[in-house]
Structure 1
């Protein structure tokens, strides 16, 4: 699944672009932002960003410059009503430049190209407020999460951290990056699932995570879909 950001101060334009993206047939997760400030406040990165140029507050050009300070790989696709900002687009290494009104087929072609370039760039940095301070952790470095004693235990390749979050909120946030909840107290990273036998999930570090009987069939289906996308 490809995580996409749409940043545009026009609600109608965001709605229209979302519709085009959802109709491409590609598996995408879309988050909308009404300003550059709102996009920049989020610590997470997005492989693909559709960015308007002429917005209230900071412009799309300045937003892109600030984005580039924390993410050099994001595919920034400018979407604007004007055709005279192309030279600025080159200055931030924009992936594409689209002039409104948008065309569904053009969106599909651009997204396909962006996905092809993004295939080898699957690890996304995610921000977490842990009990020991703020940390950025790569999505591929997370093994699983466990809800315990009203806190969430985040198990990573570098060790474990504790979060004061609900396990449901974490599952919803991490789902676009290949995570799933096999049990009411656990969220696992499909990338680190090494074996599935009965109702036991073996992770890459040897840990065993329980699979509830109620979620067994859906979990197996979702894992199969994820594996097919990796081929």
Structure 2
């Protein structure tokens, strides 16, 4: 298991590396970095990254966003002195969040959880849809949102847009169990891909903006908060 530690305080890097390397199980390879630029410039793939948020230059949030652009699987654990950063950490799908000064048992717990996650290899959830091109089976994580337009439902995924007939309300009911919610009468959004909310607009991870109706705003934000809290656990 390849692990990176990134903090602009070299003492903190050395201390955290020591805690990780003292983990009882074998098979851990730990690298240290003193800045987000150094970590990004290394061009290495890691299974897990312990990342400080408040760093000089590129901070931890922006570093994670750049990593997420090409690696959705790496488990990012934020290590910071500031509790108020927790909300921002959710936007890049953090695996965990530790407050300084970190304690050995909490670091070991993060490593243990990550190793168990790898061993269990959770199955990819897929859903079938009858589209204009026929029966299509899509990975839940690949779907950004559904949009109802001109009596058609359009499924926006990472790689394509699929068209189908039906009611958007039926899609909302079908996809609720997979972490989808309704921000507007014409949309069903995958909460996994929500990056931020600004006013009555939702910024998705792919850079698109989705409208958030005033009527749905409170309920949608509550569902997003519950979803993110569940992910953090």
With structure 1 as the length reference, what TM-score do the two structures score? 0.51
**Shift, 1:22, TM fit:** 1.3
**Shift, 1:118, TM fit:** 2.2
Any unmatched runs of 5+ in structure 1?
Answer: 122-231
CA–CA separation in structure 1 for the residues paired with 2:22 and 2:31: 16
Q: Map of 1:183-194 to 2, 5 A cutoff? A: none
**Shift, 1:38, TM fit:** 0.8
Q: Map of 1:19-168 to 2, 5 A cutoff? A: 19-26=18-25, 27-119=27-119, 120=121
**3-state secondary structure, aligned to 1:84:** helix
**Shift, 1:103, TM fit:** 0.4
Name the residue aligned to 1:10.
9
Name the residue aligned to 1:152.
none
**Shift, 1:41, TM fit:** 1.0
CA–CA separation in structure 1 for the residues paired with 2:69 and 2:79: 21
Residues 40-78 of structure 1 deviation map (CA, whole Å, 9 limit, x = unaligned)? 112221010000000010100000000000100000000
CA–CA separation in structure 1 for the residues paired with 2:96 and 2:79: 9
**3-state secondary structure, aligned to 1:5:** strand
Runs of 4+ in 1 over 3 A off after TM superposition: none
Q: Map of 1:218-229 to 2, 5 A cutoff? A: none
CA–CA separation in structure 2 for the residues paired with 1:118 and 1:39: 23
CA–CA separation in structure 1 for the residues paired with 2:96 and 2:38: 22
**Shift, 1:14, TM fit:** 0.6
CA–CA separation in structure 2 for the residues paired with 1:118 and 1:55: 29
Aligned residues, how many?
120
RMSD: 1.2
CA–CA separation in structure 1 for the residues paired with 2:87 and 2:45: 25
**3-state secondary structure, aligned to 1:70:** coil
Any unmatched runs of 5+ in structure 2?
Answer: 123-233
CA–CA separation in structure 2 for the residues paired with 1:100 and 1:67: 23
Name the residue aligned to 1:214.
none
CA–CA separation in structure 2 for the residues paired with 1:95 and 1:113: 9
Residues 18-49 of structure 1 deviation map (CA, whole Å, 9 limit, x = unaligned)? 11111111231111111001111122210100
Residues 172-216 of structure 1 deviation map (CA, whole Å, 9 limit, x = unaligned)? xxxxxxxxxxxxxxxxxxxxxxxxxxxxxxxxxxxxxxxxxxxxx
